Structure 1
Amino acid sequence: MSYERFAYLYDELMQDVPYDNWVSIVEAYKEKYQVNGMKLLDLACGTGELSVRFAQKGFDVTGADLSTDMLSVAQSKAQALSLPIQFFQQDMTELDDLGEFDIVGIFCDSLNYLEDEQAVRLAFQGVSRLLKKGGLFLFDVHSVYKMDHIFSDATFTWDDDEITYIWNSFKGEGVHSVEHELTFFVLDGESGKYDRVDELHYQRTYPEQSYVKWLEQEGFANIEVTGDYTLNPPVPKAERLFFAMIKK
């Protein structure tokens, strides 16, 4: 999956994403689980929107992402705000020794981009290695309901003066998976013409019980699952599941 052009379009398209809700959820569980430390690893940090917000809240933030283009955007944001965030290029299934953290998060359904169960479990293993005993791990994923009933065979569009996109989603080969075909038309300010950018993204999710089982096998406990940016258990048609837990 290439983010070479998508990285620079991402923030424009994600203006309405409720990033502050993720921050609030992290703060709520930090207090609930009585995690005193402030070292936070933002895995799959993308363009750094959440990394910046966490740093502004006083967290000692490290960001990691597979895409150098995303990291370039993230680094520029942190420098513009004089925030001391370290960014590293990392595959979340092959995490190096980045240090020891009080909190690790994988947000914005980034875990759904891993292609199979083995990759998800490798990510959980890596997080467990980097997280302190008693540390907090949080992530969110698309629900099975959303994958099977909202994304599958759906079309979404966006149109404004600078960016237009057509987003077609199709059922993927794996169970509870989708392929997103995105075509962007982006205005070139100098020529006044629109450039076309095509992207193909694959996402897959799993039943809530599968995530819980894999997490328990990696030494996580007190696992809580909530839905749709709330601290309440997910309803049957919840579109996004949030997982919070501590490392034994």
Structure 2
Amino acid sequence: MTQPVEPFTDFAPYYDSFMLKCVDYEGWVKYIEKIFKQFKFKPKTILDLACGTGIPTILLAKRGYQMIGVDRAKAMLEILKKKSKGYNIITYEADIRDFTLPEPADACICLYDSINYLLTEEDLEQCFKCVRRGVKKGGLFIFDMNTIYGLKVFWGNRESVREAGNVNSVWHNTYDETTAISTLYLTCQVKDENRTFLEIHKERAYDLPLIQKLLFDCGFSLVNFYHHGTFIPPTPFSVRVMVVAK
């Protein structure tokens, strides 16, 4: 049996190839800018929390923002550093639950269900406190989350096969209703290296009132929830929500 490796290590070199096939990053960035416009907010510096290989980080840098990327996955950050030469991007290798910036940013984003990787309320609280310190007063904290419906029903217990370049992969999801945790067993076969590796990723879904309470407890004074991609409230069937805190 293949022994699992740390998430976002062996998969890091292939992350962009797979994700660019299924995620409309341009659309995500346009939505972020619509949120700025909706709140009459014009940031200059943006903290991208759990930035990974920095696909949206670079897209925003191209739009003129000064970007700060924070991620604990060294392999992912190394890829971002190689891609970001010539852009106004600073990176820090740090856990999103425990980081400090030299100076606070105007806004913070945390995209593609990275917050769901925090598996306890204590983890969320630590992250939110760091963001509160890392963003200027009056700044925005924008992040998305997979909902309970999204992890339980949309992802649920299913398996899919995907291919990108020289890598075949199997994505096997399971959902535990008692913990609200979805576990992804990601098995990849690198064909030209005759090598197989396994990464195990866990995400937890949270009730939105709890998220609101924790944000208020950590010093945010305004919290809005939207059905992702819109400015309408989420429904019981929303797979993903966008959270905007101030």
TM-score by length of 1: 0.91
Counterpart in 1 of 2:123?
119
Contact conserved, 1:45 with 1:51, CA < 8 A, in 2? yes
Q: Match of 1:50, as an amino acid? A: P
The CA deviation at 1:225 is: 0.9
Q: Match of 1:86, SS?
A: strand
Counterpart in 2 of 1:242?
242
The CA deviation at 1:214 is: 0.9
Q: Match of 2:221, SS?
A: strand
Structure 2: gaps (5+ residues): 1-5
Which is worse superposed, 82-91 or 32-41?
Answer: 32-41
Counterpart in 2 of 1:66?
72
Q: Distance in 2 between matches of 1:164 and 1:122?
A: 37
Q: Match of 1:144, as an amino acid? A: I
Contact conserved, 1:113 with 1:204, CA < 8 A, in 2? yes
Q: Match of 1:118, SS?
A: helix
1:131-170 to 2 correspondence within 5 Å? Answer: 131-159=135-163, 162-170=166-174
Counterpart in 1 of 2:106?
102
Structure 1: gaps (5+ residues): none
Q: Match of 2:69, as an amino acid? A: G
Q: Distance in 1 between matches of 2:238 and 2:177?
A: 23
The CA deviation at 1:7 is: 0.7
The CA deviation at 1:172 is: 3.9
Going from structure 1 to structure 2, the CA distance change for 1:245 and 1:97 (only over 3 Å counts) comes to same
1:1-248 to 2 correspondence within 5 Å? Answer: 1-15=6-20, 16-79=22-85, 82-159=86-163, 162-172=166-176, 175-188=179-192, 194-246=194-246
Aligned-residue CA RMSD (Å): 1.6
Contact conserved, 2:10 with 2:197, CA < 8 A, in 1? yes
Q: Match of 2:161, as an amino acid? A: T
Q: Match of 2:215, as an amino acid? A: L
Q: Distance in 2 between matches of 1:202 and 1:60?
A: 31
Going from structure 1 to structure 2, the CA distance change for 1:47 and 1:130 (only over 3 Å counts) comes to same
The CA deviation at 1:2 is: 3.3
1:65-84: CA deviation from partner (whole Å, max 9, x where unpaired): 011100000011101xx112
| Fraction of identical pairs, as percent | 27
Q: Distance in 2 between matches of 1:245 and 1:2?
A: 28
Q: Match of 1:26, as an amino acid? A: I
Q: Distance in 2 between matches of 1:161 and 1:58?
A: 32
Q: Match of 1:146, as an amino acid? A: G
1:47-86: CA deviation from partner (whole Å, max 9, x where unpaired): 010110110111110101011100000011101xx11211
The CA deviation at 1:161 is: 5.7
Contact conserved, 2:18 with 2:163, CA < 8 A, in 1? no
TM-score by length of 2: 0.92
Contact conserved, 1:35 with 1:134, CA < 8 A, in 2? no
Contact conserved, 1:48 with 1:74, CA < 8 A, in 2? yes
